[in-house]
Amino acid sequence: MKNILIQPMSQKAFAPFGDLIDFNRDPDFAINNGMCDRYHALAQSDTLGDDAKTIISLGLGRPYHLPLTLKMMERHPLGSQAFIPLEEKPFLVVVAQDNNGKPTEPVALMAEAGQGVNYHRNIWHAVLTPLETQAKFLIVDRLGGGNNLEEHFFEEPYLVTE
Amino acid sequence: MKNILIQPMSQKAFAPFGDLIDFNRDPDFAINNGMCDRYHALAQSDTLGDDAKTIISLGLGRPYHLPLTLKMMERHPLGSQAFIPLEEKPFLVVVAQDNNGKPTEPVALMAEAGQGVNYHRNIWHAVLTPLETQAKFLIVDRLGGGNNLEEHFFEEPYLVTE
C-alpha cells in the first residue's frame, strides 16, 4: 500500500480544495452595536441547478482510527459541501484534485479542534472522518435534482498515517 | 416596561418563526456505509435575488445578562439567517411575526445547549444573544445586493425575564 503522511491543516494547505472555516484570523467587522465579531463569508455555498437549494443538516459520525486504509473517495459535481464540527475535536480531511474523472494523489490534513471545511464542487474527498470518538457535525450542502455523487475506488488503497 | 417570560425552546414553539436545528429527533438516513447518521435538511437557506449567494460565516458574540431589556428587533427581507452554536451553551432567542412592518408581541425561547435556529426571511428577531459568557456561532445567511436589514425600535422596551 502507498503511504500518505498526514499534514497539519492550514488555510494555505486547504485553499486548492475549498474553504477553511475557523476563528484563526481577524474578524472582518462587528455587528449588533459591537456585541458580535463577524468572520464574514468564510465559505460560499455553490449549488448548480435551477431547483437547487442550500440546506443545513446535522451528522453524527462514528469514529475511525489511524492508520486509516483509504479505499474510496467521492465528489459532488453539483454542489459544494461543508462540514463544521460542533464539538472541539480534530478530524481527518483527505482531499484530491480531479484528473479526467479520477482523483490525483490524495492529500491528508488534520483539522484541529474548531476547524470546519467547505469542499468545493468536484473536489474529491474521503468520507467524514472523525477520529477515536463519535462526533457531531453541521453539514451545509445541496438539495436538488440530478446525480450529485460520484465515487472512485482505488485499485490499490492508501494507508494514511501520522 | 412590559414583561416577556422566557419559554423553553421546542420544534413546535419555534415552527412559526423558522427551523430548529438540533439532534433531538431520529436521524433521517445513514451515509458513508452506515458510519454517519444524517439528520437531513433541517433547514433550507432562502435567499432572494439573482446575484444572491448563501454564505457561511462565524460569529463571536459577547454575552448578555438576564433580565434583558429588549429595545430593538431586526429582520432580513431578502434572506433567511441561521445561528448554530459551536459550543454547548444555551442562548436566548426572541422572535416575532410581522404586522404591517412592525413586530407583533415578541416570544422569548431559551435554546438549549446544542440547539441552533434558522430564522425565516422577514421574521423579526433580537440580535444574537449568548448569555453569561461569550460564545461562538456558525452563521448561514445571504450575500447579495439590496437592503437586507430592517430595524424596529420599540417605543416602550420589553423586559425579558426567566
A40 to B57: CB separation less than 8 angstroms, yes or no: yes
Under the banding of pLDDT at 50, 70 and 90, the label for residue A1 is: confident
Joined together, the cell numbers standing for residue B95 give: 422572535
Nearest CA in chain B to A72: B32
Regarding an ipTM greater than 0.90, the answer is: yes
| Contact list, A27 vs chain B (CB under 8 Å) | 60
Question: B51-71 pLDDT, tens per residue?
Answer: 999 999 999 999 999 999 999
Correct CATH for A2-161 of 1.10.1200.10, 2.60.120.480, 1.10.10.60, 3.30.1520.10: 2.60.120.480
Q: Is a pLDDT exceeding 90 seen at residue B1?
A: no
> Which of A47, A82, A127 is nearest residue B32 as measured by Cβ atoms?
A127
Query: Alpha carbon of B16 to those of B107, B119, B148: distances in Å?
Result: 11, 10, 21
Are residues A36 and B128, on separate chains, in Cβ contact within 8 Å? yes
Nearest CA to B79 out of B46, B50, B53 is that of: B46
Residue of B nearest to A127 (CA): B32
* pLDDT value, residue B100: 95
Min Cα separation B45/chain A (Å)? 5
Which among A36, A38, A61 is the nearest to B36, CB-wise?
A61
Average pLDDT over chain B, rounded to an integer:
97
The domain limits of chain A are: 2-161
pLDDT digits (tens, 9 = 90+) for A13-46: 999 999 999 999 999 999 999 999 999 999 999 9
pLDDT for A108 equals 98
| Interface contact A36-B127, CB threshold 8 A | yes
CB contact under 8 A, B61 and A32: yes
Average pLDDT in the A62-91 region?
Answer: 97
pTM above 0.90, yes or no: yes
Q: Write out residues 38-67 of A within 8 Å (CB-CB) of B.
A: 38-45, 47, 53-62, 64
* Residue B110 CB contacts under 8 Å (≥ 6 apart), including other chains: B6, B7, B8, B9, B90, B92, B93
A positions 80-99 inside 8 Å of B (CB): 82, 84-88
Mean pLDDT for the stretch of residues B44-56: 96
Ordered DSSP codes for A67-115: SEEEEEEEE-TTB-EEEEESSS--EEEEEE-EETTEE-S-EEEEEPTT-
> Taking CA atoms, what residue in B is nearest to A39?
B58
Q: Which residues of A touch B59 (CB under 8 A)?
A: 31, 36-39
